């Protein structure tokens, strides 16, 4: 029973354009949301997070949006760069230790 879903397994975007990654969750008790980035043969690395008291959090080129009523969050990367090509995981949980992860979206940034 997947509580966090990333319905797009892959995304291809032109360098310089915006990448939008989407994530849906089912558990209304989830209070903490994160995005992780993963390169091949490496573990995921933390990218950005948002708590339920906010609806937007920005860090440089990365912005996470949270819509609690829709149980939906998204990650915007603008402008996209070739180094952004990776697998992106959405994670959510009632706290910061018991996180549920989506299956990931593979982003390819075309030069």
Binding positions for other proteins, rule: CB under 8 A: 2, 4, 6, 32, 34, 36, 41-46, 49, 51, 89, 91, 95-104
Query: Shortest approach of other proteins to residue 12 CB, angstroms?
Result: 19
The burial class, CB within 10 Å (0-12 / 13-18 / 19+), for 107 is buried
Query: Shortest approach of other proteins to residue 102 CB, angstroms?
Result: 5
In angstroms, the CA 72 to CA 81 distance is 25
Query: Shortest approach of other proteins to residue 49 CB, angstroms?
Result: 6
């Amino acid at each position: 029973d997947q509580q966090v879903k990333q319905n797009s397994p892959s995304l291809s975007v032109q360098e310089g354009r915006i990448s939008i990654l989407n994530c849906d969750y089912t558990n209304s008790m989830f209070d903490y949301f994160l995005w992780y980035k993963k390169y091949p043969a490496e573990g995921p690395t933390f990218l950005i997070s948002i708590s339920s008291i906010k609806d937007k959090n920005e860090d440089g080129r990365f912005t996470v949006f949270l819509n609690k009523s829709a149980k939906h969050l998204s990650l915007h990367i603008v402008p996209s760069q070739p180094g952004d090509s990776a697998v992106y995981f959405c994670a959510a949980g009632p706290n910061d230790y018991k996180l549920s992860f989506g299956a990931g979206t593979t982003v390819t940034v075309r030069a």
